[in-house]
Amino acid sequence: MKFYIIPNMTRENAFSVTVRLLEEIKRLDGCAFIAKGLEETFGENQIISYCEGEDAINQVDAVISVGGDGSFINAAKIATEYGKPIICINAGKLAYLACLEADEMSLLKKVVDGNYITEKRMMLDVSIVDKTGEILYHSSCINDAVISRSGSIRIMKLSALCNGTPLIEYMADGAIVSTPTGSTAYSLSAGGPIVEPSVESILLTPVCSHSVFSRSIVLGGNSLLELAHDNSGEAILSCDGQAAVLVPDSAKVVVKKSHKSAEFIKIKQDTFIDILNKKISG
């Protein structure tokens, strides 16, 4: 079986975990593709093919991310573009989305044997649209899209429409639009609800709301959400923690369910609630 491995080398344990992963792949008579530039890190190995860019993903059966949730989300977006399922091996601490912990590498045999299932995770399409209807920016996200102030620490007024109907106004430091997968990420830290990933929905959560009555809202998965700010200062948009882009005055952020979905490989029998209890309780 062929795997494309994306290790997050900024993680302290990523090197040792990746080495153990490569040893397991070799034991299973598999092969691995890794991006060029990491030859000096992992050296010559008969099972490794170092490749330029990400086109080698077309040749593999699955993608493996080594790192934490952030690493996994970024790798999952790449895997989704090529229609490949993905596994996360935890080289961090919390990692809600990890399929395997570092000491569970032997379970990779289940993937080789085809003894696994895939979970489809909803994604969002996010666009910045100006007042003429022109799309200025577009991205997809697995976790969330965050609108916030740029360069100044002060509140912003955000108005939200759902399916063309006024929904709510927030006086806040920003707002998070998340998928159920992202409900255990930034949205949770901002006081949002935890939503089981199989429940397709769109979550809107204010960040540090300045109103006692501002709460998160859970919308149907097929909702069309439009967010506009009050033009009293620069607003920025960041999708899945990537580099922020400016939301110009009079432009709006449009969010809807993507036609694409990420495929997470699931090997173990633990449920979402099992994982949640384990990670939260430590």
- Specify the 3-state DSSP secondary structure of 5: strand
The rounded distance, in Å, linking the Cα atoms of 191 and 181 is 15
Q: Is 122 within 8 Å of 180 (Cβ atoms)?
A: yes
- Edge-first strand listing for the sheet containing 217-220: 217-220, 201-207, 174-178, 144-149, 235-239, 245-247
CA atoms within 13 A on the CB side of 136: 18
The rounded distance, in Å, linking the Cα atoms of 199 and 196 is 6
Q: How many helices (H) and strands (E) does the chain have?
A: 6, 17
CA-closest candidate to residue 187, choices 246, 244, 145, 126: 145
Q: Is 202 within 8 Å of 183 (Cβ atoms)?
A: no
Q: Is 21 within 8 Å of 91 (Cβ atoms)?
A: no
Catalytic, 69? Answer: yes
Of residues 29, 69, 113, 249, which has the active-site annotation? 69
Contacts of 255 (CB under 8 A, 6+ apart): 124, 125, 126, 127, 145, 177, 202, 224, 225, 226, 227
The rounded distance, in Å, linking the Cα atoms of 202 and 165 is 16
What token pair was written down for 96? 């809600």
Q: Is 69 within 8 Å of 95 (Cβ atoms)?
A: yes
CA-closest candidate to residue 32, choices 67, 59, 12, 14: 59
- The residues carrying an active-site annotation are 69
